[in-house]
Structure 1
Amino acid sequence: MSNQGKAKDPQKTKDQVETTGHSWDGIEEYNNPLPRWWLWTFYLCIIWGVGYSIAYPAWPMLKGATTGLLGYSTRGEVAEDIKSFDAMNAEINAELAAADVTQIAPNTPLHDYATNAGAAVFRAQCLQCHGSGAAGAKGYPNLLDNDWLWGGTVDEIAYSIQHGIRNETDDARYSEMPRFGVDELLEPEQIDQVVEFVLQLSGSEFDAGLSIAGAQVFADNCSACHGAKGLGDRDQGAPNLADAIWLYGGDRETLHETVSEARFGVMPAWGQRLTQAEVNAAAIYVHTRGGGE
């Protein structure tokens, strides 16, 4: 058989680069060595990485990580920054802590500082419940209106922040609504009646027949806290039931749940976690949001 017309492999020369042996559609890949500059850069990166892991915190351990020979700590760096700013603000913070919050006049340097500092405290500690804009959420009061459970003057706000609501501290604001359904203080029919009466108080659609009977149930069981007209009592933390502002909801189903099972919202005593200056600053900030009285 003749080999005429069959292509012959070119003769390899001494300097010809070998291929990798891979072929794609007849295209072969040369096995060129990596450039020396790239290899030296790679080796230097390895050396630098080993040195860095020795000098700085790097390797995770069972508890924490290796500290490194230099003892560097990002937390320590932040702590130093905080310490330096605390030192710069020490004088005005002492003034704010000692001040009567009711006597700090608006548009003064102390009031302006308190407002800005209070905004920082609010963003760090309060927005998780009350929202970034202080408009609240279900079960967490809106701080932008004048519907206050315990009072909306700046000193009352400061007290609420300092001691909290229904927690385990002695000075916390405390009130507790009876569980009229769970503890069988009212019959199911009476709960239906008083719910319709509360719907009438708030201007919602209601069953007139049930509401008439519910008025007497309300007078006998609810008026001691919420008042004869359902306007609430801030000294007891009893909400106003005659408006359209509801902490948990004002529809028939939610009201039935509230009367039957009661509500018991808790707020921490921030005076145990914050300085007096921070408490006063937060109170002034909240007071300036529009709902302060």
Structure 2
Amino acid sequence: MPESTDPRELPGADPHTGNRKVDPVTGYETTGHDWGGITELNTAFPKLVIWALVLTFLYSVITWILLPAWPTGRDYTRGLLGLDQGVEAVKGFRDLAAGRQDWMSHFTGENFAALQSDTGLMAAALPAAERLFADNCAACHGVSGQGGPGFPVLSDGYWMWSGDPEAIAETIRFGINSDHPDTRFAKMPAFDWMERSDRSALAQLVADLPNGPVKRHSPAAALFANNCASCHGENGSGGLETGAPSLTDGSVIYGQDEQTVLNTITHGRHGVMPSWADRLSDAQINLLALYVAQLSELSNEVAQ
């Protein structure tokens, strides 16, 4: 006969209840359940867990009463403490703005040299300047001003106009090819009227400019002198007064490979920098200009 698995027949079991067998190791009664020789102990529910559940429930009731909790359609209950996160957020913003007002007011003027020489003021303003740049400029120019296809690098020494804070502030304020009446204007015309062979020769010459100056007395050099030098300079170093970018460094806005340069020569370029005059205050624009002007220094510090 096979051995019985009925718990009422196990040694030490109560024949009436069937689950009074005591585990000899722990001293706890078993439930009578058996899984392949493994019996379940009839241990008491931990009191610590019970108290944790009770305290959690009491805490939830108290917070429901004191804090904003219950939705009422488009609104919600404020609780006995009367807290309102919207009001708290506005108050926090106003306190932050008031705290900045003392040093921010210094940037309403345009004495950039004096502002740059005030190291204490610039150190206090740097976090706000970084935030302004991240919120308004980084989407196009990159978080550290490294630029990208169609957007100029701001962290090097090459500028379409002067890299002085005054010139940068003017660009931020009025934009480039924007709808502001005082906008800067810069346009690369299309040379699709030029022979394909001439455009290809020009593209090859421009793509090679970062490796050295224009080679004189060549057909491509003559083409460059007649069609490009008036804006980009005799050696392709750019024109700070015309907004023509340098062609001699590795930060060309649209790319310096021969095919990209050929596309630029053939179809032209007409990039747009929006005006920020109606979006940022004069103090914010001046602070941004000072920050952008020192981006190359900040980038070098990070690299080191």
CA 11–274 in structure 1, closer or farther in 2 if over 3 Å, else same: same
CA 283–46 in structure 1, closer or farther in 2 if over 3 Å, else same: same
CA 133–90 in structure 1, closer or farther in 2 if over 3 Å, else same: same
Residue 285 (structure 1) aligned with residue 287 (structure 2): no
Partner of 1:248: 254
Q: Aligned partners of 1:253 and 1:152: how far apart in 2?
A: 29
Q: Shift in Å at residue 291 of structure 1?
A: 6.5
Deviations, residues 133-154 of structure 1 (Å, cap 9, x unaligned): 3333343333232200121011
Q: Aligned partners of 2:223 and 2:72: how far apart in 1?
A: 65
Deviations, residues 119-177 of structure 1 (Å, cap 9, x unaligned): 34224433333333333334333323220012101100111222233333333323222
Q: Aligned partners of 1:196 and 1:62: how far apart in 2?
A: 67
Q: Is the 8 A contact 1:194 1:213 kept in 2?
A: no
Partner of 2:49: 38
CA 99–238 in structure 1, closer or farther in 2 if over 3 Å, else same: closer
Partner of 1:80: 91
Partner of 1:96: 107
Residue 141 (structure 1) aligned with residue 187 (structure 2): no
| Greater relative CO, 1 or 2 (CA 8 Å, sep 6+) | 1
1:273 to 258, 271, 279: 279
Task: Could you tell me which runs of 5 or more consecutive residues in structure 1 were left unpaired when the two chains were aligned.
Answer: none
Partner of 2:221: 215
Equivalent position SS for 1:84: helix
Q: Is the 8 A contact 2:231 2:244 kept in 1?
A: yes
Q: Aligned partners of 2:45 and 2:179: how far apart in 1?
A: 70
TM-score normalised by the chain length of structure 1: 0.75
Q: Aligned partners of 1:85 and 1:286: how far apart in 2?
A: 23
Deviations, residues 201-223 of structure 1 (Å, cap 9, x unaligned): 433699x9xx9433344344433
2:243 to 237, 242, 255: 237
Equivalent position SS for 2:130: helix
Deviations, residues 213-247 of structure 1 (Å, cap 9, x unaligned): 33344344433432344332222211122344422
Q: Aligned AA for 1:275?
A: S
Partner of 1:198: 206
Q: Aligned AA for 1:100?
A: N
**Which stretch shifts more, 116-125 or 149-158?**
116-125
Q: How does 1:172-183 map to 2 (within 5 A)?
A: 172-180=183-191
Partner of 2:31: 19
CA 142–80 in structure 1, closer or farther in 2 if over 3 Å, else same: same
Q: Aligned partners of 1:167 and 1:113: how far apart in 2?
A: 32
Q: Aligned partners of 2:84 and 2:141: how far apart in 1?
A: 34
2:168 to 157, 162, 177: 157
Q: Is the 8 A contact 1:143 1:291 kept in 2?
A: no
RMSD between aligned residues: 3.9
Equivalent position SS for 2:194: coil
Equivalent position SS for 2:39: strand
Partner of 2:193: 185
Q: Aligned AA for 2:111?
A: D
TM-score normalised by the chain length of structure 2: 0.73
Q: Aligned AA for 1:277?
A: A
Equivalent position SS for 2:295: coil
Instruction: State the aligned residue count.
Output: 283
CA 172–75 in structure 1, closer or farther in 2 if over 3 Å, else same: farther
Q: Aligned partners of 2:83 and 2:253: how far apart in 1?
A: 48
Q: Shift in Å at residue 281 of structure 1?
A: 1.4
Q: Is the 8 A contact 2:110 2:166 kept in 1?
A: no
Q: Percent identity?
A: 30
